[in-house]
Every structure is written in C-alpha cells, then in structure tokens.
Amino acid sequence: MDQKLFASPLSPAYWRASGRELSRLRVLTLAAMLLALRIVISAVRIPVADNLNIMFTYLPESLIALICGPVAAPMVGAAGDILGYLMHPDGGFFPGYTLSAMLTGLIYALFLYRARITVLRIALAKLLVNYGVNVLLGSLWSSVMYGKGYLYYFAKSAVKNTIMLPVEIIILTLVLSILLPVLSRSGITPPQTDRRLRVF
C-alpha cells in the first residue's frame, strides 16, 4: 500500500487514503487497542476545581488520529467517549462531550495523519484542541450541564488549559519521537522525512 506523506489535508487523495485505513486489519487492531487504552485512561484524572480535571486521554487520542486519519478518528473519538462513560459513569451523559471528542480526533488527524510531523504541528494541534474544544466548547457544555455561567467555566478552563498546554506538548512530542520510528518500521505509518522531530 502506498504510504506517502501529504503536504496538505485538502487533497482528495489524502481523504481516500484515510478512508482506506478502515480496511487495514493491523490499523483497526491497533486502533481498537488504543481505544481500550483511552477508556482505561479516562478513569485516571487529577481534580483541579469544580468539573475541571487534568487527564491523559490526549495521548491515545492523538495516536489514533495519527494512525487512522480524519475519516475514522472522529468515529473512534465518539465511541471512546460513549464507552468511557458507560465504563466509568460520572454525572449525566451529555452528547456535547461526544461532539467534542469527535472534533478532537478530527483536529489531531488533520495535523498528524500522513504529515511531516514537527513540534510546531504538534503545538498547533494541541493549541486548537485545548482552546477551541476544551475551553470554548467545554465551558459551554459545563454551563449547560451544571448551571453556572459560561464565563465561570471559561475562566477556570482557560487557566487549566494554559498551564497544561506546554506540558502536554512536551509529553506528546516525546511520545511521538519514540513511537514514530516503530510505527514506520511496522508499516503502520509512512516514514518521516527527518530522522528526528524538527521544530519547524
């Protein structure tokens, strides 16, 4: 199978390649394992404030997006959110969080799937997820679910995500630096053009 990198996700071939991942048994098996890991990790959280927790689900989420692409990653994200709630129910189920999980998978995929991975790409993906999904949308869902004003949750979430952003970028960069060569040698992802992750 052609395992080339794409300069942009705007190419029709890029989306066809992502769709074909759904027929690759090794990719589906690895995605299922990462989905199970995501569900387990979703139960591990460090409470910071009311309805605000530090979590590590971004690691398997980003790896699923890297491997599966933008066609499958949102579906896996939705499945992970629903199954995670069923396995570890915490409050009421709210479909807004499922939508956030789908958008998170899509964003990671658009930046990481079949792309030349750089620290800048990782940082931009995390920036959009942390502020676009976690802060803007997450605060809206929290205000609907728990009754306090949007700005109350926005302020708390903005502080938490701002503090965690550089930490998560560093951790994700280290994880990808280790796993990308392994995934490439296994034929799961295409080889990167550089032996080490570059900043730009």
Percent of the chain whose predicted confidence (pLDDT) is above 70: 96
Task: Give residues with Cβ within 8 angstroms of 97, minimum separation 6.
Answer: 81, 138, 141
| 8 Å CB contact between 54 and 134 | no
CA angle 68, 180, 34 (to 5 degrees): 45
Res 48: pLDDT: 67
- Of the given ranges (36-40, 52-56, 123-127, 155-159), which has the lowest mean pLDDT? 52-56
pLDDT band at 51 (very low <50, low <70, confident <90, very high): low
Q: What is the mean pLDDT of residues 172-181?
A: 95
Percent of the chain whose predicted confidence (pLDDT) is above 90: 70
pLDDT band at 49 (very low <50, low <70, confident <90, very high): low
Q: What is the mean pLDDT of residues 70-78?
A: 95
Indicate the pTM of the whole model. 0.92
* Sign of the C-alpha dihedral computed for residues 138, 92, 28 and 102 taken in this order: negative
| Mean pLDDT of the residues in the chain | 91
- Of the given ranges (7-11, 35-39, 48-52, 79-83), which has the lowest mean pLDDT? 48-52
Res 134: pLDDT: 95
Domain extents in the chain:
12-185
Rounded Cα distance between 175 and 182, Å, is: 11
> Fold for domain 12-185?
Arp2/3 complex 21 kDa subunit ARPC3 (1.10.1760)
Distances (CA, A) of 127 to 18, 81, 136, 142, 166: 23, 21, 12, 20, 9
Res 144: pLDDT: 93
84 has pLDDT over 80 = yes
